Amino acid sequence: MSGKPREKSAGSGRKRPKLIVAENGHQLVLQLDQRITTIGRSHDNTVEIDDVSSSRLHCQIERKDGGYEIVDLKSRNGTVVNGVLVLRKELRPGDCIEIGKTQVFFEHISQEYADETIDLTTDYFLEPLEGLEEEDQLSVLKNEREIFLKLMEINRNLNSKVVLDDLLGLIVDTVVEVTSAERGFFLLAGEKELEVRAARNMDGETVKDPQLKFCRGIAEDVIDSRKPLCSDNAMNDRRFRDLETVKELNLKSVLCVPLANDDAVLGAIYVDNRFDENAFTSNHLRWLEMVAHQAAVAIRNAQLFDENISRSEVLEQTQRSLERANAQLEENVMKKTLQLEEAIKLIPEDQPAGFKYDYSKIITRSPKMFEIFRILDKVSESAVPVLILGESGTGKELIAGAIHKNGQRSEKEFISENCAAIPMNLMESEFFGHVKGAFTGATSEKKGLFEVADKGTLFLDEIADMPADMQTKLLRVLQEGEIRRVGGKEVINVDVRVVSATNKNIFDMVRKQEFREDLLYRINVITITLPPLRDRREDIPLLIDFFLDRIAERSSEKKKSLDRETFQAMYQHDWPGNVRELENEIERFAALGGDVIEPQLLSPSIQANGSKPGLSVDGKPLKDIVSRTVEDVERRVICSALVDTNWKKSKTAEMLGISRPTLDAKILKYALKREPGAEPGLNSRN
C-alpha cells in the first residue's frame, strides 16, 4: 500500500487495547485482537507500514500475562519507545512507539472517541478536566492532545538531530508557540557565565542582542536551585525586588525551568511576556518541565557528539601515525630477529605526557591502551558505573583498580569478586551478608561485599555469569542503594561504586534474554573495551622483561634471558589467553630452563612460530642496527605526523607528546622539509 498503514483482518473477541498508527499524515486506530501483532514493511505483517526506515519484519507486540510487550525483531534501525531504544519492553497506556517517522501509540480508548482522540490515563491530561462539563472536557482534551503531539514532535526531532544549534533553535520555536510567550531563550551554562544559544520572539525571528534581553538573575536562581519558577507579575514579585533587570525590561510574566540531568544542570529554558500578566499557566509549566527533561538528555548527547567529532579527528591522525610507526617497529623487530633486550630499546621508554594520573603499574606502550588511559582520566573521579569488556587475561581487574585508585573513593575499600566463582546457594549471602542463624552453618553475623565496600568500589568480574534471580536482586540494590542481610529485617543503606567486567558478548545475551536489559543499563554507563595482546604486540617484549625481572627478584637468582629464536616465536604467537597465558608460559620455562631459554622449552603451539626465517643482519653489530632502526622509526613518525597536521608544528608536537623546541630539533636533525605534493622529508635523507 502507499501512504497509509494497513491492518490485516483479525478475529473477533472481547474488547482489547488499541494502537493508533500515525504515518505520512494519516491516522488509523487498530484493535489488538491477536496474541501476536507484527509490524513492518512486509505484506505478511499484521500491520504494514510504508516507512523506509522500517525493516520488513521490524517488531511485534505480544499479549503476555494479562499485559502486552513489544519485542524488536533484530530490525536494522531499532525500535524506540518513549525516546528510548529497546529490545523488549512492557507497554503501558500512553507509550509512543517510533519506527522511523511512523508513530504508534498504545492506548485503551473509549469507543465514542476512538477515531478522534487519544485518551491518555495520566494526571497531566486528567487534571485540566476537573469541574468541567462533558462538552467542555472534549474541547480541553483536543487542546491537550495538540500539546501532547507537540511534545512528541520535539521528542522525535531530538532523537533525529545531533547538531546542537539545530536542536536548540527547534526547541525554542516550539516552546514559544505552545506557551504563547512573547520571547523565548535557550540558555546553556558556559565556563564563566550563561550563554544564550537560541533566542526567538513570537514572530519566529531571532532576538537581537539576546544577552541583554532576559533577566539573568532569575535564570541563575533557577539553575542554582534546580527548581522551576513562574511569576504572574515580575514587577510586583517580592522575590525579584533586588533585580534591577526586571524593572529595566518591564517584565510581566516569566516562566523558567532548569535543564538538569543526574550529574549537573546544563542551563535553563526561559520565556517571558512584557505586556500581559498571568500569561503562563500550571499546564505550561508542567509541559515545559517535560520538554526540559527530554532536552537535557538530547543536549548532553549533542555536546558529546561535538566533542567526539573533534576528538576523533585528532585521534585518527594520531592513530595513523602510530600505526605506521608500529608497523615499522614490528617489521624491524621480526626481520632482524633481535634479542629481547634490543627489542625493548626500540620501544619508547615512557608513556606519553598528558595523562592526569599515573598508569605506570600497567605495563604497556600501546597506543590503544593509551586511549583507554585517556578515558580513565575522565571517568575515574565521577561515580558513574563502568563496564569493562575484553577477552580473558587482558587485565580487566587492573583497569578497575586504576579507576578506584584515581577516584574520590581511593581511601576506601576496593573489593574484587568473580561472580562465576561463587556457588549459587551462597551468592546472596556473599553479596548482602547474613545474620546469625539465617541458615545452617550461619553461626555468626557476617557483612556482605556491599557493606564491606561501602563508600568504596566493588568490582564484579564475569558479571554475565550471574544467575537470573541474583540479577534481579542486584538491580534493586543499584536502584535503591540499600540492602537487607539474609535472614535479617534491618534495611542497611550502602554507597558503592560498581565496576563490572565480562569476557562474554553481554549485549547478545540481553537480546537472547539471558541477561536483564535494565540491569545492563545500570552497570553500562561507560564502556571500556580492552584490546587482546595480539593487537598490541609492542607490549610483548615489555611484559616478558617484566615477568623475568619479577621471577629473578622472587628467587634471588640471576635474571634469565631468551634465545633469539625463542623471542621470535613468542613475539609471533597470538596468545589466545592474553597476558595470563604469557605469564604462565614464562613461569613454566623459567622453572625448567637454565640461564638462556632455548626454543625447545616452549609449548608446542608457540614453537611452531619460531620456524619462520628472519633476514640477515649483514654482519653489522646489533647495537648499530638498533640505533639506526630507532632513528628510522622516529623520523617516519615525525614525517607522518607533520603530513597529517599539514605542518602545523604546535599541533604536531602535541600529537607526539613532545615540546615544540624538541620537535624543531628533530626536524633539523633529520633535515625534514615541506615539499609541495610529496610527503615531507622522504627524499631529504637516504
pLDDT digits (tens, 9 = 90+) for 195-218: 999 999 988 899 988 888 899 999
Q: So what's the pLDDT on residue 519? A: 93
What CATH number is attached to the domain comprising 461? Answer: 3.40.50.300
Whether residue 456 is predicted with pLDDT greater than 70 in this model: the reply is yes
Please report whether residue 65 resides in a domain: yes
Q: What is the b/e burial string over 137-158, where b = at least 16 CB atoms within 10 angstroms of the residue's CB? A: ebeebeebbebbebbbebbbeb
- Domain C-terminal end among 490, 513, 530: 530
Whether residue 472 is predicted with pLDDT greater than 80 in this model: the reply is yes
Please report whether residue 478 resides in a domain: yes
Tell me the one-letter amino acid at 639. Answer: C
> Are residues 610 and 568 in contact, defined by beta-carbon separation less than 8 angstroms?
yes
Q: Centre a 10 Å sphere on the Cβ of residue 580 and count the other Cβ atoms it contains.
A: 15
Q: Which residue has the higher pLDDT, 619 or 409?
A: 409
Whether residue 16 is predicted with pLDDT greater than 90 in this model: the reply is no
Whether residue 146 is predicted with pLDDT greater than 80 in this model: the reply is no
Residues spanned by the domain of 373: 367-530
Whether residue 219 is predicted with pLDDT greater than 90 in this model: the reply is yes
Residues 240 and 276 reside in one and the same domain: yes
Give the lowest-confidence range in 3-7, 209-213, 291-295. Answer: 3-7
* Average per-residue pLDDT for the chain: 80
Q: How far, in Å, CA of 282 to CA of 420, rounded?
A: 53
Whether residue 154 is predicted with pLDDT greater than 80 in this model: the reply is no
Q: So what's the pLDDT on residue 468? A: 92
Please report whether residue 469 resides in a domain: yes
> Are residues 533 and 394 in contact, defined by beta-carbon separation less than 8 angstroms?
yes
Whether residue 510 is predicted with pLDDT greater than 90 in this model: the reply is yes
Residues 395 and 502 reside in one and the same domain: yes
Please report whether residue 350 resides in a domain: no
Residue 155 confidence class, pLDDT cut points 50, 70, 90: low
Among 322, 308, 237, residue whose Cα is nearest residue 538: 322
Q: So what's the pLDDT on residue 626? A: 44
Residue 618 confidence class, pLDDT cut points 50, 70, 90: very low
Residues 374 and 461 reside in one and the same domain: yes
Whether residue 624 is predicted with pLDDT greater than 60 in this model: the reply is no
- Domain C-terminal end among 128, 155, 182: 155
- Number of residues in the chain: 686
Whether residue 264 is predicted with pLDDT greater than 90 in this model: the reply is no
Percent of the chain surpassing pLDDT 70: 76
Give the CA radius of gyration of the chain: 32
Residues 226 and 373 reside in one and the same domain: no
Residues 143 and 168 reside in one and the same domain: no
pLDDT digits (tens, 9 = 90+) for 379-413: 988 888 999 999 999 999 999 999 999 999 999 99
pLDDT digits (tens, 9 = 90+) for 82-116: 877 788 899 988 888 988 888 898 874 333 333 33
Instruction: Return left, alpha or beta for 597; rule: phi > 0 is left, psi -120 to 50 is alpha, else beta.
Output: beta
Instruction: Return left, alpha or beta for 677; rule: phi > 0 is left, psi -120 to 50 is alpha, else beta.
Output: left
Residues 202 and 146 reside in one and the same domain: no
Whether residue 150 is predicted with pLDDT greater than 50 in this model: the reply is yes
Residues 74 and 218 reside in one and the same domain: no
Please report whether residue 660 resides in a domain: no
Whether residue 5 is predicted with pLDDT greater than 90 in this model: the reply is no
pLDDT digits (tens, 9 = 90+) for 30-56: 888 889 999 999 999 999 988 877 889
Residues 122 and 189 reside in one and the same domain: no
Residue 273 confidence class, pLDDT cut points 50, 70, 90: very high
Q: So what's the pLDDT on residue 82? A: 81
pLDDT mean over 311-329: 68
Q: Which residue has the higher pLDDT, 337 or 584?
A: 584
Joined together, the cell numbers standing for residue 347 give 620501544
Q: Which letter does DSSP use for residue 603 in this model?
A: -
Whether residue 375 is predicted with pLDDT greater than 70 in this model: the reply is yes
Residue 539 confidence class, pLDDT cut points 50, 70, 90: confident
What CATH number is attached to the domain comprising 266? Answer: 3.30.450.40
Whether residue 540 is predicted with pLDDT greater than 60 in this model: the reply is yes
Residues 372 and 508 reside in one and the same domain: yes
Whether residue 192 is predicted with pLDDT greater than 70 in this model: the reply is yes
Q: So what's the pLDDT on residue 369? A: 87
Task: Name, in order, each residue with C-beta under 8 angstroms of 274's C-beta and a sequence gap of 6 or more.
Answer: 182, 249, 250, 251, 252
Please report whether residue 141 resides in a domain: yes
What CATH number is attached to the domain comprising 62? Answer: 2.60.200.20
pLDDT mean over 651-659: 80
Q: So what's the pLDDT on residue 614? A: 41
Residues 127 and 218 reside in one and the same domain: no
Whether residue 464 is predicted with pLDDT greater than 80 in this model: the reply is yes
Q: Which residue has the higher pLDDT, 567 or 307?
A: 567
- Domain C-terminal end among 510, 530, 550: 530
Question: How many domains in the chain?
Answer: 3
Q: So what's the pLDDT on residue 129? A: 46
Residues 124 and 179 reside in one and the same domain: no
Please report whether residue 371 resides in a domain: yes
Q: So what's the pLDDT on residue 337? A: 40
pLDDT mean over 522-530: 92
pTM for the model: 0.45
What is the end-to-end Cα distance of the chain in Å, rounded? 69
Residues 377 and 508 reside in one and the same domain: yes
Whether residue 453 is predicted with pLDDT greater than 90 in this model: the reply is yes
Please report whether residue 668 resides in a domain: no
Whether residue 151 is predicted with pLDDT greater than 80 in this model: the reply is no
